[in-house]
Amino acid sequence: MYLKNKKVLVYGLGQSGRAVAKVLKDNFAYVSLYDDDIRFFDQVGFDRDPYGKDYDFVIVSPGVVCRANKLLEHFRKRNILVLSELDFGYLLCRGKIVAITGTNGKTTTCTLVRDILKQAGYETFLCGNIGLPLSAIASKTTKKSVIVCEVSSFQLELSQFFHANVACILNVKPDHIDRHGSFEGYKQTKAKIAANMKRKDVLVLNLDDEEAKCMILHKKFQYFTKYYVKRGVCITNGNVCIDRKPIFSEKAIKLRGDKNLENVLAAVSVCSHFKVKADDYVQAIEKFRPASHRMEVVGTIDGVTFVDDSKATNVASTLACLDAFKKENVILLLGGSGKDIAYDEIFKQKPNIKVVICFGAERENIAKSARAAKVKTFVCEKFDSAVLKASRLAIDGDFVLLSPACASFDEFENYKQRGDRFKEIVLGLLDEK
């Protein structure tokens, strides 16, 4: 992609936008910046009137809301090319691309794929929604590289050119309805991961997920499942198998819960399309530890275990956490900012939920669902008071789970900041002992 002397607007100045701007400047493009957030107005290079300029193209960050966006409509009417950050990064990349999407489990699966391929001797890059934008690593890639890219619906929304050699759809549950308008709109956006696949490419699907298993968007596809199948990746007689051939024992998988088991099977399915030995799978999987804020045990105080699952920003993810701790007595911390999603499903079975503590902007909506299901419920306005309330209610043997089922933007910048605050409070309680 030729960038020298091109006039480019970078729309959205979060991490992705900053990475794009650096790449453009490194390639001698004329770069202008814009963001809907007025906090960026004083930044050098900020264009206060993007409507009045002629750009060669515009690169849009994932954080920019696209639906009913008047500025994007303006560019389209003037036939100015609008690129997603994902497209821009892809057009600069060399090597093979593994793209993984889904409502939940993307980060765990991507990291595990990277670890397995690295163990097998591949030159790998881990990027995308996981934190490092694709455009930030593009110049470092070679024909021998394997780029493992976590892809969100926000990144796919505007994408036109992005192409994965191996794509995987882990699961599809209601999420980001506030952004995409409906569950159907969300599904259609996820489906774009397979839009440009070629004959030799492979689409990996979860046979155990009602929505994902139906997304046969490419002729060459492969299923993974926790149950027996003749073709694909499955578990048979206590072994993880590829096309019925045992590869390694299920006992090598140390992660909690069925959803994490699905994540491992997805990673094996993706990696089965590369030259990977059985021992490579075993070594990578046995050494693997989930990233922070994903069912992470923070500590134990007087027999009470505190678990940080702040990454659970939707109902399906919270259900996965409850499943992983289904043998424990749970005090559940729920709340934050909403996504136009109902919470009733969390309380339908409620076998191990001892108490629910609701906090943040969605506290009353969650409390209404919990009380309708006759679950003992407390409401706190702020996050800190909710965590402290949980610590006072918990007794020896209880598990306090921060698995909020909501975004964090009412009190925090992101789920990481929320999880870090949870850890600070718990560690502070530990210090008092």
Q: Summarize the chain as % helix, strand, coil (round to 5).
A: 35, 25, 40
On the 0-12 / 13-18 / 19+ scale of CB atoms within 10 A, 179 is middle
Given 287, 310, 343, which residue is the final one in a domain? 287
Query: What gap in Å lies between CA 91 and CA 84, rounded to an integer?
Result: 11
> Is residue 181 located within the same domain as residue 269?
yes
> Is residue 69 located within the same domain as residue 108?
no
Given 247, 269, 287, which residue is the final one in a domain? 287
> Is residue 415 located within the same domain as residue 311?
yes
> Is residue 238 located within the same domain as residue 316?
no
CA 64 → CA 19, 85, 179, 349, distances in Å?
A: 15, 11, 10, 37
Given 35, 59, 79, which residue is the final one in a domain? 79
Q: What is the pLDDT of residues 1-28, one digit of tens each?
A: 899 999 999 999 999 999 999 999 999 9
Q: What is the CATH number of the domain that holds 273?
A: 3.40.1190.10
> Is residue 75 located within the same domain as residue 94?
no
Residue 303 half-sphere exposure, CB side, CA atoms within 13 Å?
8
Domain that holds residue 43: 7-79
> Is residue 15 located within the same domain as residue 94?
no
Task: Report helix angle 85-92 to 15-26, nearest 10.
Answer: 40
How many domains does the structure of the chain reveal?
3
Residue 1 lies in a domain: no
Q: Indicate the pTM of the whole model.
A: 0.91
Query: What gap in Å lies between CA 328 and CA 373, rounded to an integer?
Result: 20
Q: Which of 120, 191, 193, 89 is nearest to 151 (CA)?
A: 193
149 forms beta bridges with: 99, 127
Q: What is the pLDDT of residues 63-85, one digit of tens each?
A: 999 999 999 999 999 999 999 99
The strands making up 353-359's β-sheet, listed across from edge to edge, are 296-301, 304-308, 398-402, 329-335, 353-359, 377-379
> Is residue 249 located within the same domain as residue 139?
yes
> Is residue 344 located within the same domain as residue 230?
no
Tens of pLDDT along the chain (433 residues) come to 899 999 999 999 999 999 999 999 999 999 999 999 988 888 889 999 999 889 999 999 999 999 999 999 999 999 999 999 999 999 999 999 999 999 999 999 999 999 999 999 999 999 999 989 999 999 999 999 999 999 999 999 999 999 999 999 999 999 999 999 999 999 999 999 999 999 999 999 999 999 999 999 999 999 999 999 999 999 999 999 999 999 999 999 999 999 999 999 999 999 999 999 999 999 999 999 888 999 999 999 999 999 999 999 999 999 999 999 999 999 999 999 999 999 999 998 767 899 999 999 999 999 999 999 999 999 999 999 999 999 999 999 999 999 999 999 999 999 999 999 999 999 999 888 6
> Is residue 116 located within the same domain as residue 259?
yes
Q: Can you give the pLDDT at residue 40?
A: 85
Q: What is the pLDDT of residues 177-234, one digit of tens each?
A: 999 999 999 999 999 999 999 999 999 999 999 999 999 999 999 999 999 999 999 9
Strand runs labelled E in 264-394: 296-301, 304-308, 329-335, 353-359, 377-379
The answer to whether the CB of 16 falls within 8 A of the CB of 22 is: no
Q: Can you give the pLDDT at residue 352?
A: 86
